[in-house]
Structure 1
Amino acid sequence: LAVLAHRLRRQLARIGRQEYLGKLNGATGTYGAHLAAVPEADWPAISRAFVADRLGLTWNPLTTQIESHDWQAELYADVARFNRILHNLATDVWTYISMGYFAQVRGQGTVGSSTMPHKVNPIRFENAEANLEVSNALLDVLAATLVTSRLQRDLTDSSMQRNVGTALGHSLLALDNIARGLAGLDAVPTQMASDLDANWEVLGEPIQSAMRALGARGVAGMENPYERLKELTRGRRIGQAELVEFVRGLGLPAAVEERLAGMTPQSYVGLAPHLVRDYLRTEVGGPDPADQTL
């Protein structure tokens, strides 16, 4: 979830840096009528001051009859990318719910089945998926079409831009549903621990990595670590006793052997707690991560 949060924040930063362009240079972009009316005026300077200072937009000095809409295409592409990452979050959380890693708190806007009273449907995340897909369908076509104008006289952009509010509205609905959905979740650590305990073969990676490191330092007996772990783990389940027996038989240095034999699927998390705490402290600016259990 921290990875998804980091990805979403990057896209929000891109959206926040987006320029909003404007023009004031006449029907063809040449100041022709302006010069005919007041030839002594510095029209580009007046245009820049009005667009930038009065309107607060980024001045576009070179346009045709219309402002070119390139900035809109850039913005909608960024919002669509944000939506796709948000869609990824919704589908992942939906899957975690179905696997039992998260439980939905009844009464938090949950919806049950019409025929199965025991069910609590993940309606918030499903609703978000649908709204994000509609939003992106509109944003994609807006980004693709607004950058073209047939011979500078094409008015299709006028009809297209009437859908901007709808596109962004569906994205906001999805955000609201995901926020409400996340607020109604409880973690189920017992189910997570149960699944981890059923998958001791995941420790094949750290064991072979340790063997490779020892082999690179000239320790004897560390040949073919991948093949040896593949023979032990591929296509079948193994338990703690079987894995520990394998580690004990590798001829590892005593300290390494004890470290690997004492490893469990639950403890094989690398720097994940540190990475999340560091992210919360430096990027999110939340409470002191040292006071939180991750």
Structure 2
Amino acid sequence: MNIPALCPLDGRYSGRLGALRSVMSEAAFTAYRVRVECAWFEILSELKLFKPLTKEERGLLAQACELSAADLDHIRALEFDGYLHIPPTRHDVKAVEYFLRLRLGKTSLKDRLQWLHFALTSEDVNSAAYALLLTQGVEKALLPALENLQKELSKLARKEARSVLLARTHGQPAVPTTFGKEMRVFANRLARQIAQLKRQEITFKFGGAVGNFNAHYAAFPQVRWPRAAAKMAAVLNRGHKMKISLTPVSTQVDPRDSYAELFDNLRRADVALLDLCRDMWQYISAGLVHQKTAAGEVGSSTMPQKVNPIDFENAEGNLQLADALFGLFSCKLPVSRLQRDLSDSTVLRNMAVAFGYALVAYQSVLKGLGKISFDRAAARQELCAHPEVLAEAVQTLLRAAGYPHAYETLRDFTRGRAVTASLLQQFIAGLPVDAATRSKLQALCPENYLGRARELAEEKYD
């Protein structure tokens, strides 16, 4: 644990974020920029604007994209301190360009290095690099975690498909359900968001200073530059499942509506998990769900008996942190004054932070689910202690039999009073109904009044 860290993602939670750090760290983002610059260099070569690249030279570019710790230090030095004969750029993208000039300056490419960053604005490089950062963050970190959660919830739903539970609406006893069916609700909510997440695509712009290819056409009016930019999209999509696409019309920045769509998608998934965490907290508090204990684990510094629902509480807080940032991103990033202002730059750099809090939350939920067990006996006892939940069934059967004012009759009998099983049977016995209807009413039992709860939990929807 890095004690001096200002952010818990680099301190308390640092050991849990390896998958995310490899694809969304500053080092990863720098590597994406290098990849974009090298890819554009290759595309320019394919346009025959300069001497074609040999197989060995393409290999040199590929090697340049594999950044070592020393390479990253050199790029940082170029930006902030100066390096060799180059003074500090105070510009991150220009530092990447100069790094490549130095890296390739003693190779056979040395006579063509003026084509690095040709006709581009830094936002072209950043936009393409951020597209890689977001898609990789989803594919390599968030999506696998969400899929694991959805599978665990589906497994729990099937396991507890027949475990009766007293449903509560407005916090009050309602009608019977099963614990498995309630878990199925969350599993399906998550599955919906995962399916939409897999269909998301991220856009980027690559049209120069204000998106018009001004410099491109000034230098080479005969080249179809939008087609060349589209080739960059093809390069970025290699080896990835989540699609990256070129924005055909932009200012200096991509509109980033696709970012907002992604963040809102993640927020919906997070809201479903937040709902789950709060429900699980309630079930634990009510003694219906128990948690496994670990030897030596402490639940309270003064109350040794406590087993707190810390995983679900941790997840709740981190989900709220992530979603606060996702909400900010969705509102902020698609808005830019005129053709561009720089207020988005520092916000963009924090996208990985939101992903980090989301991933920590997903891991906490998964850990929490792995520690729980549903107390079927306690749930059955609670349900049977509330026979008034059969009031819905009784009044519905009476309606079906043509009994006048059935709802009002049950309302007057049950509302605001303690109803026991024997009292309910006495009430049924006194109703002026035919024998068949009375038999149906007398056969009602809270444990069997489940509708299709079991089938729904087992995904039998028809």
Structure 1 and Structure 2 fold alike (TM over 0.5): yes
CA distance in 2, matches of 1:171, 1:183: 19
Assess, with a 3 A threshold, how the Cα gap between structure 1 residues 108 and 140 changes in structure 2: closer, same or farther.
farther
Gaps of 5+ in 1: 216-221, 283-294
TM-superposition CA deviations, 1:114-139 (whole Å, max 9, x none): 11111111111111111111111111
CA distance in 2, matches of 1:42, 1:250: 85
CA distance in 2, matches of 1:224, 1:83: 45
Assess, with a 3 A threshold, how the Cα gap between structure 1 residues 109 and 159 changes in structure 2: closer, same or farther.
farther
CA distance in 2, matches of 1:62, 1:261: 70
TM-superposition CA deviations, 1:4-49 (whole Å, max 9, x none): 1111111111121111112221111111111111111112222223
Assess, with a 3 A threshold, how the Cα gap between structure 1 residues 150 and 34 changes in structure 2: closer, same or farther.
same
Is 1:191 the counterpart of 2:373 in the alignment? Answer: no
TM-superposition CA deviations, 1:63-110 (whole Å, max 9, x none): 110111111111111111211111110010010000011011111896
Structure number with higher relative contact order (C-alpha < 8 Å, ≥ 6 residues apart): 2
CA RMSD of aligned residues (A): 1.8
Is 1:47 the counterpart of 2:229 in the alignment? Answer: yes
Is 1:101 the counterpart of 2:288 in the alignment? Answer: yes
CA distance in 2, matches of 1:252, 1:109: 62
Alignment of 1:170-185 (within 5 A): 170-185=357-372
CA distance in 1, matches of 2:395, 2:295: 46
CA distance in 1, matches of 2:199, 2:215: 34
Secondary structure (helix, strand or coil) at the match of 1:58 reads strand
CA distance in 2, matches of 1:113, 1:263: 45
Partner of 1:225: 406
Partner of 1:73: 260
Which residue identity does 1:42 align to in structure 2? Answer: R
Alignment of 1:71-220 (within 5 A): 71-107=258-294, 111-215=298-402
Secondary structure (helix, strand or coil) at the match of 2:392 reads helix
Is 1:236 the counterpart of 2:417 in the alignment? Answer: yes
Are 1:111 and 1:123, in contact at CA under 8 Å, matched by a contact in 2?
A: no
Is 1:20 the counterpart of 2:207 in the alignment? Answer: no
Are 1:110 and 1:123, in contact at CA under 8 Å, matched by a contact in 2?
A: no
Partner of 1:37: 219
Partner of 1:218: none
Pick from 184, 191, 205: which aligns with 1:2? 184
User: Which range moves more in the overlay, 23-32 or 165-174?
Assistant: 23-32
User: Which range moves more in the overlay, 198-207 or 102-111?
Assistant: 102-111
Assess, with a 3 A threshold, how the Cα gap between structure 1 residues 109 and 157 changes in structure 2: closer, same or farther.
farther
CA distance in 1, matches of 2:265, 2:437: 48
Which residue identity does 2:333 align to in structure 1? Answer: L
Is 1:257 the counterpart of 2:459 in the alignment? Answer: no
State the shift of 1:257 in Å. Answer: 2.2
CA distance in 2, matches of 1:4, 1:126: 17
Which residue identity does 1:71 align to in structure 2? Answer: S
Secondary structure (helix, strand or coil) at the match of 1:150 reads coil
Secondary structure (helix, strand or coil) at the match of 2:373 reads strand
State the shift of 1:50 in Å. Answer: 2.3
CA distance in 2, matches of 1:140, 1:112: 33
Gaps of 5+ in 2: 1-182, 238-243
Which residue identity does 1:208 align to in structure 2? Answer: Q
**So what's the TM-score if we normalise by structure 2?**
0.57
Are 1:110 and 1:122, in contact at CA under 8 Å, matched by a contact in 2?
A: no
Secondary structure (helix, strand or coil) at the match of 2:397 reads helix
Which residue identity does 1:170 align to in structure 2? Answer: Y
Which residue identity does 2:350 align to in structure 1? Answer: N
Off by >3 Å, runs of 4+ in structure 1: 108-111
Give the % identical residues: 39
Are 1:108 and 1:184, in contact at CA under 8 Å, matched by a contact in 2?
A: no
Assess, with a 3 A threshold, how the Cα gap between structure 1 residues 190 and 81 changes in structure 2: closer, same or farther.
same
CA distance in 2, matches of 1:153, 1:274: 55
Greater C-alpha Rg:
2
Which residue identity does 1:159 align to in structure 2? Answer: T
TM-superposition CA deviations, 1:261-282 (whole Å, max 9, x none): 1221121111000111126x99
CA distance in 1, matches of 2:300, 2:363: 22
**So what's the TM-score if we normalise by structure 1?**
0.89
Which residue identity does 2:288 align to in structure 1? Answer: Y
Number of residue-to-residue matches in the alignment: 274
Are 1:132 and 1:170, in contact at CA under 8 Å, matched by a contact in 2?
A: yes
